[in-house]
Amino acid sequence: QAEIENALRRGSNVEGSKLRIWKIYQLQPDRKLRAKALAKEYAPYGPGGSSHTYLDGSSGWLDHDSKGLTFEHYPDHQKVLLRWDRVEKYIDLMIQSDRYLSDKERRAIDFPLELNAASAAEYTALKAQHPDTLVGFEAGGNFMFYGEDAAKVAKVLNSALFTRETALGEVQVTGFPPILWARKSKELWSAGNDVYLAGLNKDGTHHQTKHLHKEDYLPIGSIINMDGRKFRIDGVDFDKGKVSLQDMALADLRMPIFREEPLSVVRELYEQQDEALDAAPEKAVD
């Protein structure tokens, strides 16, 4: 694994490849499409290769073609193929554990902040209205999060966290492109956060794009169907990823029986019931 990570940290032979690869992971959630993008990044003009130095100082060759990366070791010419889907998984793990970009490369990532004094005042007022909410503020082509919000968002989304000098002072920042707002805000919401996204107007002011309340993710008291029985949502523990459910049939018999189920499972059932209700035809009123 160490040898593979050592090779992947070099990026491809094309200038600026590592930052482009990093951006692929920020913008593309589909793993198969990521793998295809990596193949194109490493071999934009077809098969190729370059000399490679292993961690023990020995030499070899690194080939890249439509199949993946092939490691060849000298002098025995032993070859190992790492297919693009495996390359994608390795880089994903490296990015999530902060082992892909160097400190210098992280500093080179440009988040265009464009937060002037007026925008900073608007953001500060908005944050004061929603002190316990993750506030994403559109600036410079991204929904930006600042300070403690940025640290929380980066942890949930596995996004890069930077320290930048802004009109708010020197603060931690992270963010994501507006085209990803629906998916990213739902990820933050599903982790038990209130989320407020403020989109940019043409005149430079901001409007509410989305406001999500964590209590709406799985409302207490809602009834879901599971295993042919009805259950009432009694409590939600986002930290543990668990939901406490009360069996309604036994509750009617005054037997308060509870069970715990994974949060993701209960949320999926809740969404399915909502979709079924939306799809149900309305009854005609006589």
Query: Does the pLDDT value for residue 38 go beyond 50?
Result: yes
pLDDT at 285: 43
Q: How confident is the model at residue 78 (pLDDT cuts 50, 70, 90)?
A: confident
Beta bridge mates, 170: 165
CATH topology of domain 117-214: MutS, DNA mismatch repair protein, domain I (3.40.1170)
Per DSSP, what are the bridge partners of residue 78? 73
178 secondary structure, DSSP code: G
**Mean pLDDT over the full length of the chain:** 86
Structure tokens of 41?
């990044």
Buried b (16+ CB within 10 A) or exposed e, 91-106: beebbeeeebbeeeee
Residues 136-169 have pLDDT tens digits of: 999 878 899 999 999 999 999 988 888 888 889 8
Q: Which residue has the higher pLDDT, 265 or 278?
A: 265
Among the listed residues 175, 20, 161, 21, the one whose alpha carbon sits nearest the alpha carbon of residue 84 = 21
Q: Environment class of residue 111 by beta-carbon count within 10 Å: exposed (0-12), middle (13-18) or buried (19+)? A: middle
Entry pTM: 0.67
- Compute the average pLDDT of residues 184-205: 94
- Taking Cα atoms as reference points, which of 72, 80, 78, 69 lies closest to residue 9? 69
- For the ranges 54-63, 99-108, 121-130, which has the lowest average pLDDT? 99-108
Helix %, strand %, coil % of the chain (to 5): 40, 30, 30
